[in-house]
Structure 1
């Protein structure tokens, strides 16, 4: 057994599988608190050579769309075919790298936490979206480090534009957890929508005392703030018309932030976080009925696509597209519960589940002159990896604190090498604190599964069940809809390998335990 594997077993009590140290597990653990990764020395050298030629720190722009389905973008099988053309997102993909196996968490708050901290949400405690007026008993950010914080301390101008939904109490807002500045709203689109649409929410809006009580829990406004300063309201959200304009407000702010960073000659890290296409979708006047489908969700997709075009065009206008890494994705699969105000996925399930439809999302990486255009890869990419990769691109990888376990891996060589391979061995999937499933190569193994009692009721009418003697396993190349498990029949050779990966992963909680911030539901 190789030395690195012996160290790994001593540290984490892993179970060795015969042959695992050569073909089946090529990962190396560089530091105890960092997730093991697959080294690709030649590809890493190629990526480093490209970065050295830049001779300056690159800008980082992460475009995060809310609840967009894997199949909504044209190059992923949607677009014109489903009544909402996406020319700008198609262009970004065709001129960059299109990932076909990018993974988020099942819902928005956990994904945003994972992207910003590099940690599976069970570790940070941000395991599910907070609800109206709900405040965790413990501020998770007291012991978490965002990529924005690390980059801000290492020469970057950092900001988030748009939806936050990661805590509204003192000490939990963006300008208090590492961002230099921000503009957006603290909650989620539906939280504001419930105050303005009496057709959908009559039992709230038509009862004045009830409405007043609920409104008292929510700040109905777009706000902005800077590090060390109090947040200030900049636009109310009290009507459908005002709510329809928020993404345009966010876009204007992102454009202004980018321009200011360029004028100040400072590298920037910006997360542009859409409110769309989370329900309920109200598009700005310019886009009403403009999609071929003429449904609000489809109009919203076109508005999102237009804003993506505005941001990427600005990079060209400012002549910084050759020095800006762009990554576009969604925070989870489409919300089937709100149909027809929801997106499309070709996979089983949707938002809220760990079926592919809930966690497999678009992933587009673009960087002119650095990422070869037209690449398509099925290499594994977890949105946790954006934490590590962003910090690595900024040259600050040694600044990642050792106090927390980091589940992300640095994917710089995967993205930048001409024929780069993923450095990630497996993706581990959770529902809140429940370990559910893992993806390794083309195989998906479920230890627990979501079962829905009615079509399109992934959130409102489903249960989590333990699998039986044999885990449920699907070869996603031939069974992408995860319809009939054949693990015991056709995957006997791989069962012990994947079970070993899962044991090793779960063993990391012995030294780096899960954090309880008060989001567990009663009875759990």
Structure 2
């Protein structure tokens, strides 16, 4: 073969390879420490035009429900159909943007960490929920930056209302990691429920020495605090009646915080973090039996929906609705292990797994007169993206420190453009520090899978297994329940491209390694 022909052949091969890479990964890297994003110049221009019309910095309200399933909200196939109407959340979707491919982490602590830091939990070390009396050996927040911290330095009043569950030791509570103030509890609903319901936890409550020893490990109070000040007790949680009231206490606080911010004419960043619908569900006065299903979980969904309605009404009454970005979501899929005190998903698996049922959650973006009403999009959205998007809306994007790798991408133009497309190319899924799967376009590729050995035992009776020679692949449009892998048969063309995405993602750990804060389980690698 002549030299010229060889060169032409080599160039053709090179061009074909580049074309394949560009199709599977059309992202552009802007900075070494920021996850590359898909450029969309036209929608970027449109979004900037909308933001330029604002007379002041926008408020940011993130509404985070605990353990709510993809199929609990009416517009996602739940509501009346599953015995718990959700008119206010449905209205939010109808008047805003309903995302059908929003992804969380498999459990609550990792999702909350990702949402606040923009980082996959394997990087922050907050890879799983802490348990009763357990504390990390290293304070993860010493080297992390929250959205609240960055926005507080840029003129915002910042707060979180409700559940924290991201550390209880000194230096780990909200007012110590960047929030100006907060009110809530440090752990999780079940942490407190185990001390108040002897019907469910008799072997703890009915053994006085055991009960006293374990209770001494838990700060069983609703508490509040401000930056630079010590936290103080608002309400003890000593009975089921006390526990039933907490979400109303959180709602009262959120309303007060929003009202104070509006009165001071200050932009606010608030995460309203529900205690519900995490087990064990005890509803507030007036909600028992209020749902058509008349069971505690469904009643709790109705209470959550009513509180969402209260918060949205307040924005309207204060005449700040047109200057407030709202995003409603859940921190993971429903907890099937506690059925029937758990939610509904149409997908395979649930909380604790990286099957769609564990990580695919509702995502609703609302902003009156800025986000076009009635939009529905299947564009990819990772809750990590709320970090970048919130900071971009707050005008502080250039203030994101370069010390940590940020896995989130700025989705402002996707959400605000009337016909916006996602700026995210792929969603990478983990169980603690184990890479499990990736979603790209409508395809989901698994390198490891959860094998659950009993119905609804995703947390209590499952193992992680490696796949065989071929990764397990599902076209989620054709197989949303991930019930029969067809990767080798129908997706051979796509396997190299998707595995290339994984390789590129894993290479970021060379410069920005995983962080161990002491949450690895004994005996694990």
TM-score category by the smaller chain?
Answer: over 0.9
Match of 1:492 in 2: 492
Match of 1:292 in 2: 292
CA contact (8 A) 2:185 2:222 kept: yes
What is the TM-score when the length of structure 2 is the normalising length? 0.96
Matched residues in 2 for 1:285 and 1:337: separation? 27
Match of 2:334 in 1: 334
Matched residues in 1 for 2:160 and 2:358: separation? 25
Where 2:299 maps in the other structure, the secondary structure is: helix
CA contact (8 A) 1:17 1:497 kept: no
Where 1:62 maps in the other structure, the secondary structure is: strand
Q: Spell out the pairing of 1:315-330 with structure 2 (5 A cutoff).
A: 315-330=315-330
Match of 2:461 in 1: 461
Where 2:45 maps in the other structure, the secondary structure is: helix
Match of 1:204 in 2: 204
Task: Please list every run of 5 or more consecutive structure 1 residues that lacks an aligned counterpart in the other structure.
Answer: 1-15
What is the TM-score when the length of structure 1 is the normalising length? 0.97
Matched residues in 1 for 2:504 and 2:41: separation? 25
Q: CA deviation at 1:20?
A: 2.9
Q: Spell out the pairing of 1:273-292 with structure 2 (5 A cutoff).
A: 273-292=273-292
Q: CA deviation at 1:496?
A: 0.3
Matched residues in 2 for 1:34 and 1:24: separation? 19
Larger radius of gyration: 2
Q: CA deviation at 1:64?
A: 0.1
Match of 2:121 in 1: 121
CA contact (8 A) 1:38 1:423 kept: yes
Match of 2:427 in 1: 427
- Does structure 1 residue 226 correspond to structure 2 residue 232? no
Where 1:19 maps in the other structure, the secondary structure is: helix
CA contact (8 A) 1:17 1:496 kept: no
Match of 1:412 in 2: 412
Where 1:363 maps in the other structure, the secondary structure is: strand
Matched residues in 2 for 1:443 and 1:226: separation? 45
Where 2:49 maps in the other structure, the secondary structure is: helix
Q: CA deviation at 1:483?
A: 0.2
Closer, same or farther: CA 243–17 of 1 in aligned 2, 3 Å: farther
Task: Please list every run of 5 or more consecutive structure 2 residues that lacks an aligned counterpart in the other structure.
Answer: 1-15
Matched residues in 2 for 1:217 and 1:459: separation? 24
Q: Spell out the pairing of 1:32-431 with structure 2 (5 A cutoff).
A: 32-431=32-431
Matched residues in 2 for 1:403 and 1:497: separation? 30
Match of 2:481 in 1: 481
Q: CA deviation at 1:17?
A: 4.7
Matched residues in 2 for 1:372 and 1:486: separation? 37
CA shift digits 1:74-106 (9 cap, x unpaired): 000000000000000000000000000000000
Q: CA deviation at 1:21?
A: 4.0
Q: Size of the alignment, in residue pairs?
A: 509
Q: CA deviation at 1:25?
A: 1.9
Q: CA deviation at 1:26?
A: 1.2
Where 1:414 maps in the other structure, the secondary structure is: helix
CA contact (8 A) 2:99 2:376 kept: yes
Where 1:285 maps in the other structure, the secondary structure is: coil
Matched residues in 2 for 1:475 and 1:110: separation? 26
Q: CA deviation at 1:18?
A: 4.6
CA RMSD of aligned residues (A): 0.7
Matched residues in 2 for 1:322 and 1:466: separation? 49
Runs of 4+ in 1 over 4 A off after TM superposition: none
